Amino acid sequence: MITALSTIFVLGVLIFVHELGHFLLAKKAGIRVDKFSLGFPPSIFSRKFGETQYSIGAIPLGGFVKMAGENPDEEATGAPYEYMSKSIATRAAVIIAGPFTNFLVAWLILWGLFLFQGEAVTDPDHAVIGMVVEGNPADQAGLMTDDIVKSINGTPVAGFSEMAVLISKEVEKPITIVWEREGREMSATVTTMAEEAYNEQGEKIYQGRIGVGWRVEYHSLGFFGAAYKSFVVVIDFVDKIVRFIWDLVSLKVSVKMIGGPVFIAKMAGQTAQLGFSALLFFMSFLSVNLAILNILPIPMLDGGHLVFLLVEKIKGSPLTVNQRMIAQQVGLVFLLLLIVFVTYNDIVRFISG
């Protein structure tokens, strides 16, 4: 239930704000909007207000804004309210408005988190335990919250990340942990658990775990500090996503690493169990991800429409109806194949645990 509700919430909000960006700027530009839909058919709700039909589809994996004269199979009349009657710059702005809104929402979410919750800070010099999972190896060893791990198998650790790296290499093997509690040194030997993960080639690997989390403290950033920090994090999201896409294209990373709807639902459920702030952070990352994917130069996506406008600008006239329809069909087939592939990836990951 948590997974289902969190998935509907995350996808519903992000799709809504994306389409709302297109909708509002189209209205501002004087373009008639015939339909505003969240989700894809069959429709479970439909109502017309003014000149626009508003609907909710049963398949919550996207949405669309249908503008007058936008589709290549429509007969253009040259009416001033039609999409094709507007300048290239105006049409480009309407297209960009969707991804831009997703970037803006990601920034606003993060701003709210940093403003009201503060910035999460960990001790860079000490491996301080913030949480111990009951029944796991760390719990069996006697580790407790606020304990400071000093060494793993005799190797000193200066931070939680160093400790995690050392433990991850020891899969279902005994390790000796030395820690400090209120000035007293303690030690124990336990056997690590095996946790499934995937490498850059999409191959399943196993890592050692003992069931601990690091201690986090929240530092207030203030109004403007939170605004700046959220901007920095959005840029970091962009950098990570673009690098991942480039690694996919250059075959440095396996396509098995791509996640789809099932993966998103799983992540939404897991982050929701960690708390609403964790779900919002995941939501902001997904919003940036949605924005970047939509501006890829693929027909049917916003980036594909921008390519059409660029070609129109260069050649001095729009693509013919037949050219646009062929491009749209190619883009649709590509996206359908991609959806099938990523869903297959998700199912394989789900079955394998």
What gap in Å lies between CA 162 and CA 257, rounded to an integer?
A: 25
HSE (side-chain half, CA atoms, 13 Å) at 310: 7
Pairing of strands 155-156, 174-181: unpaired
Cβ pair 308, 319 in contact under 8 A: yes
**Cβ-Cβ contacts under 8 Å for 313 (sequence gap 6 or more):** 88
The full DSSP string for 43-75 is EEEEEEETTEEEEEEEEEEEEEEEETT-STTS-
**Cβ-Cβ contacts under 8 Å for 312 (sequence gap 6 or more):** 88, 318, 319
CA nearest neighbour of 296 among 99, 67, 92, 14: 99
Known active-site residue 119: no
Q: Which of 19, 119, 203, 312 is catalytic?
A: 19
CA nearest neighbour of 291 among 237, 333, 330, 254: 237
Q: Label each residue of 161-182 as H, E or C.
A: HHHHHHHHCCCCCEEEEEEEEC
**Cβ-Cβ contacts under 8 Å for 339 (sequence gap 6 or more):** 61, 260, 261
Radius of gyration of the chain (CA): 25
Tokens 């929701």, residue located: 272
The full DSSP string for 142-159 is T--TT-EEEEETTEE-SS
What gap in Å lies between CA 218 and CA 31, rounded to an integer?
A: 47
**Cβ-Cβ contacts under 8 Å for 85 (sequence gap 6 or more):** 69, 76, 78, 79
What gap in Å lies between CA 201 and CA 189, rounded to an integer?
A: 34
Catalytic residues: 19
